[in-house]
Amino acid sequence: MSIRIGIFGYGNLGRGVEATIRQNPDLSLAAVFTRRDPASVQILTEQIPVVAAKDVLLWKDKIDVMILCGGSATDLPEQTPALAAHFNVIDSFDTHARIPEHFADVDAAAKQAGTIGIISVGWDPGLFSLNRMYAGAILPNGKDYTFWGKGVSQGHSDAIRRIPGVKDARQYTVPVPEAMDAARSGKNPALSTREKHTRECYVAAEPGADQNAIEQAIVTMPNYFADYDTTVHFISEEELREKHSGIPHGGFVIRTGKSGWDNGCNHVIEYSLKLESNPEFTACVLAAYARAAYRLHQEGRCGCLTVLDVAPAYLSAQSPEELRSQLL
């Protein structure tokens, strides 16, 4: 008997979860929930219903874990606590500054309902957080650095698209190799925002638009670009579509630290991701934590958790005995 998964929201992330479920024989897709007209939503898995979000409670006994695939700005702060009152839930809430508040909301709902909620699951927050935590606990006398990229930042791409004269745009965040080497050196350098990452922009301008003005508007944009060395390339809409339609991302968590009575030895712990699809990979992480949520609920646990609170073995389809004999 497999773990019955509901997908709540069917965009890039929801489609990624659907694909991942097919790779995990102990998970099965029960239904996809959408705020759109269900008749307008075509999913890939055969014979699985698409259900109007407002009817979700009719599925209360037919879903073991609901994976929320909405956005962090407005969807998840509302949806995750609301659904935690009826389902075990997993989300990828990624507004770092608001995690404590979101945690409290989901925790209250889940504790009252006796459900499990695991929030902020993905790679940052998520796997990168795990690695910052493990490395920091093991090498307390040290310093960590997170680098992002090379990858597409949706927020920065959108910011460029709002500039008059821009038809479409794609922005890549690129880590600076020299800064990564400095981070690995063990010398604990202070690295400024500008030193750590550059920003590369590919812009398709409207015909006749003033490219100099667009470039100036980009590189001087506060918060988004002004603190970075930013490069702007003007290309055709076709080239943008052909060469820049993927959603790759990734990054590095590097911690160095010293050990020994006189701090004589230096160590480097490095974790990196190179992802061809940011949403599909996030979906893979969500699916593994859905398995964990199901098991924790089966054990009678309830309340809100993050990746830091879940013992690794809960994520694996293998039994503890198999893991000890084959993988440890």
Piece in contact with a second copy (CB under 8 A), picked from 3-11, 167-175, 211-219, 264-272: 264-272
Binding of a second copy at residue 265 (CB under 8 A)?
A: yes
Judged by CB under 8 A, which of 115, 129, 153, 171 binds a second copy? 129
DSSP, collapsed to helix, strand or coil, labels residue 250 as: strand
H/E segment holding residue 308: none
Judged by CB under 8 A, which of 82, 134, 219, 295 binds a second copy? 134
Q: What is the DSSP string of 90-153?
A: E-----GGGHHHHHHHHHHHHHHHT-EEE-S-SBTTBHHHHHHHHHHHH-SSEEEEEEE-SEE-
Label the pairing between strands 116-118 and 142-148. unpaired
**Residue 210 annotated as binding?**
no
Nearer to a second copy among residue 170 and residue 249 (C-beta):
249
**Residue 35 annotated as binding?**
yes
66-125 residues near a second copy, rule: CB under 8 A: 96, 99-100, 103, 120, 125
The amino acid present at 46, given as its one-letter code, is E
Cα 106 from Cα 304, distance rounded (Å): 6
Minimum separation from the CB atom of position 176 to a second copy (A): 19
Nearer to a second copy among residue 2 and residue 316 (C-beta):
316
**Which residues, including other chains, have CB under 8 Å from residue 267's CB and lie 6 or more apart?**
139, 142, 186, 256, 257, 258, 259
Binding of a second copy at residue 133 (CB under 8 A)?
A: yes
Binding of a second copy at residue 276 (CB under 8 A)?
A: yes
Piece in contact with a second copy (CB under 8 A), picked from 108-116, 157-165, 236-244, 259-267: 259-267
Query: Among residues 97, 13, 23, which one has the least CA distance to residue 282?
Result: 13
Pattern 147-166, a second copy, x by CB under 8 A: --------------------
Cα 200 from Cα 209, distance rounded (Å): 20
Label the pairing between strands 50-52 and 65-68. unpaired
Cα 172 from Cα 156, distance rounded (Å): 8
Cα 36 from Cα 14, distance rounded (Å): 14
Minimum separation from the CB atom of position 164 to a second copy (A): 35
User: Considering just the CA atoms, what is the radius of gyration of the chain in Å?
Assistant: 22
Binding of a second copy at residue 54 (CB under 8 A)?
A: no
Judged by CB under 8 A, which of 5, 8, 18, 228 binds a second copy? 18
**Residue 55 annotated as binding?**
no
Judged by CB under 8 A, which of 6, 16, 70, 77 binds a second copy? 16
Binding of a second copy at residue 28 (CB under 8 A)?
A: no
Pattern 182-221, a second copy, x by CB under 8 A: --x-------------------------------------
Q: Which residue's entry shows tokens 């989300």?
A: 91
**Residue 189 annotated as binding?**
no
Q: What angle do CA 243, 246, 249 make, to 5 degrees?
A: 120
Query: Among residues 22, 14, 19, which one has the least CA distance to residue 53?
Result: 14
Piece in contact with a second copy (CB under 8 A), picked from 55-63, 71-79, 187-195, 320-328: 320-328
Judged by CB under 8 A, which of 281, 297, 302, 303 binds a second copy? 281
Give the residue numbers of the binding site: 10-13, 34-36, 69-72, 92-94, 121-125, 148, 173, 199, 249, 278
Give the residue numbers of the binding site for NADP(+): 10-13, 34-36, 69-72, 92-94, 121-125
